[in-house]
Structure 1
Amino acid sequence: MQAVGLGLFLMLLPRAGRCAPPAAISCSQGLACRLLEMDVLCSPGDMVLSADPVLVPTHMRMESVLHCAGASECSPCVRVELQLAVLGSPEEAPGEGIRDSRGKDALQHWDGGPLLSWMLLSAWTNPSSRCVAMEVRLPRALARPNQTVGSVRFDCFEVALRGLVHVTSYTSPRYWEVLSQTHRVSDCSWPAAQGTIRLCQVPKVQVSMGPEEAVVQVQDVPVGQNFTLWFYRNQTRELKGLSPKTVRGPQNYSLPSSQLLPCLCLQVWPDVVDSPRTSLCPFSQDPAAWTHLWAQARVTLQLRGGMLNCSVSVPCAVSGELMPCWRPKSARLCHELPHLRQALTLSTKSYYEFQTLQPHPNLCVQVRSAGHVRLTQCLQEGAVPGRPADLLLMETKDPQGNMLLCAMEQGSCVPLASSTSMGVGVGALEQQLQQAVREGQCMQVWSAEGSRVGTGWACSLENYLRARWALAWMGGLLSTCCLLFLFLLKKEDLKGWLKFLKEGYSSEGALRGRRALILYSPDHAGFERLVSTLASALSQLQLSVSLELWSRAELGAVGPMQWIHAQRLQVLEEGGIVILLFSRGAVARCTQWLLRVQGELLPQTEPHSTFLASLNCILPDFLAGKAGGHYVVACFEDLLRPADIPELFRSVPIFTLPSQLHTFLLALAGVAVGREQKGSLKKHAMWISDSLQRAICECQLQEPEGRCPPPVCP
């Protein structure tokens, strides 16, 4: 009767007529199993109920293995393992089925023999499928209803690399639910596949950089296997002039240095359909490749519907920042506008719109990447309203709602009283400029809406300068008369004074174009006036000075740490110098900082002071020995002894003021100072020393141990 049932089973499940690869099944101890057919036509059908216990698969597990015909001739396949259990009474079977009375009679005939189960494994992959028939026997003595009794394993279903296989399992007739599971085979990164699967045996690629070309070496090409080598840009998947090349054995390929870009990559793969590919991008960190990238990049400014638009074209995708900046007429540097920088990823062709900016001839856009300005593009003069000689002002409000104006210089907002914009002091014009802003005579560059800073205005100084020049001519005539009168009184002294004017402030100055950042501790109002006196004197010598006292509006908007970090970075990038101006308060704060316990809260200080914040930025340079050439230390000799300055800061030159003012100015000017400029700085030092001495005396009067007699201070 069993033979008749098996024959009926095979008739119902005919052979597929295809040649199947070698396969095998195995089962755990106590079970007997054999493979019936490798290719049959199968279907789950309806579930039936059995009055007697039956052997059914309850769980399925799959894993990727290798099927090998030789040591290096392997292919991936999927092994299937089924956990088997004895299904008890019909009440415990899930769902409703069709009672198989004919099957029940057949099973009753075998009451004294083992439990027999015919099981099917159906595997589907795109574009083929396979169904395997197995027979499993369990001795009746080992049957335990509703318990796992062992397992059966099938080796195996062949699947391609990266292939997906869907396997189902059930009995015939079906006494239990259909088991279903999906499994994906790994790619050539699978350790078992490397060295055993022919498709995964790709050659090695090594790149050697030369001064004019790069050499790509293809090594370890398997014998008898052809490969394709392809160069491409990783975001466009194309590269003109470099078509795929066929590799037949070890070869070298040369690439001109002009074609090297950070996104230039290569792929190599065997000449087999749907084969895996090995990718390599060897130039992503090469400095020469980055130089070629920025040489091919372009930035364009244009107006669309009255709105300022910017387009950036780069051959490779790169992260960067767009920085709107302001470059006055005949200026070399473009000063960044505060809080308008945009971080972005530049693609092959990118477009950006500045909604808060109004077009002006002085507006430019810079592209910054990896900490450096790579591209700069400005609007053309005459293409938009405004004059290149306009002065850029920023309008803010004080707590009472009154208008405050400051001039944008070197990326900072400087009070008009201290501004030397365009080489002209504009402090005396503050009232006129405020009136011009109120009456709409100035052009709005950016609006306060949506901005973290105030409104920007471009104001013309032409009318005011003409009036000032008229007054200057009248003053000049009066001065000439006075000079002639003095010439008659004291001819020799007049000659010396005229010579000083000729060599002094009338010259361009040795400090012109240099930039400096002054860091100090605001001990009290008298010391701040002293620091302002020094900074103003340096500004008169055409040194661009950044000072906390002059940037309180911006400091309040961004915070001390962000302000000092941005100022220090700009000064060092432009070859400037940082001046550490020590006082008793600075020494006390610095000592407290250096001796603080880790985890202790920072000491409290004034809300606008940057001195403690500056220690975070400058201490790493001193601790690493990198402060030389970038920092100088100074103190006022009547207020602090040089010996009181902490030892850490003595690795750079220390100047006592005003006695060493001349050498201090020479240090700020740098090495490129001529003999005439040295003489001019010496005369300036004499004039500045008088101003500093008066300010020092006023400062001493505000200190508890000040000993400067009041009559000496004017």
Structure 2
Amino acid sequence: MKRGREGRCSLMPNNIIPLESITYCMCLQAWKNDSVRAEICPFEQNKTEFNANVLSNMSVSLAHIKTNDGEPVLSWNLTAPCRIRAESWPCQLEADGKCTEVEGFRQKCCNDWTENSTVLWASGKFVNIRSQNHQQLCVMLKVDGKIVRYCQHPLERQYWSLLVLLPLVLLCLTAFGVLRLVNKLKYMRGQVLLLHSSATDPQLVCKLGQLLSELGFRVFLDLWNQTELGSCGPAAWLHSKLDHIQKHGGKALLVLSPSTLQRAELYWNIAVERQSNPATYSSDMLASALGCIFADRKKGCGAQRFVLVQLDFDELPINEEHDMPKLLRGLLLYKLPSQSQGLLMELCLENPTNVSGKLKKMWWMRKAQRKLAQGVQNILSRVRTDSMLTQSDLLSLDMEDTEEIIILKNEQH
């Protein structure tokens, strides 16, 4: 499926498209094995009928920042299912709920769109903009004659009396304290950043992340953070999460697949043998992760942040160390479900010193090992017995990345 004819083709997780997700720019591609792809855009002549779906699936995030010279800036990030043409301007929210335009800041958008496999976004900013009387600044978008307002904070109930607001603040502080305590207890095992290729089945990755979360680990996964990912982009999101888990002693788990191995081998060839910058060829989440592994290898600390995970149903040619792509050599590899206990020992941060603590950790480790092994086994069983996943589907999963790799290899020669 593509977001417009100029968009990127992304694999559909299933064959069902909700009616509210249909847009006039939606295009579909179909192919079988190595045949030529056929493309149709069945709704592009029905823009009026499906324009409401585009507007309802739009979102805008706002941020107040400053330039290096100290000038105030109102930046915005727009995510939308289609490459829309719009007019934007800032407005100042009045006490009566009306939003008065701040003159001199109108601009056309959006000509520069960024897209990955999950989201399409554009961004802009209003430089040296100031509000009067500390009133809230919002952004107005005019799309096909319809004006939509986006504010940084909810507009309802802004002027509650102090007698009503004070008990609410106390209640929120109490709830926050309880949540912090529960959160600390829940995530005492460790923190995990789960990385994968876009060709890997997203349902499989989500189920693996959910399984680790149920075992007490705090799991970060791009598929669960689409809003945050759309606001800052794949590379910035990845670096922020890597920094976070490193501060808390966590690990980044890279799920291996045929596509991941090919991309890792290609990254090494471009970076080392060609002495070129691989980021010029691809800038998705996996490319950013491989770049971090490459940087860690140069520093001699690659195994400190990254761990490899292989699900046993993947027939990967990595029986020996020399079979592994050079970029990934030296990283710990755990095969699931057979090496579940080893992975848990690698991820678990608890290191009790007394006898009682050691016994509790031993009891938890045995219970968690059985749950992880059984959970992964159930995931793999569902993958094998899924009647909807035919052999042609399996071949098409890596089609897009394979075509990209072939093109890049041709460029190398």
Larger radius of gyration: 1
Greater RCO (CA < 8 Å, at least 6 residues apart): 2
Structure (1 or 2) with the greater helix fraction = 2
Bin for the TM-score computed over the shorter chain: 0.3 to 0.5
Q: Tell me the TM-score normalised to structure 2 length.
A: 0.47
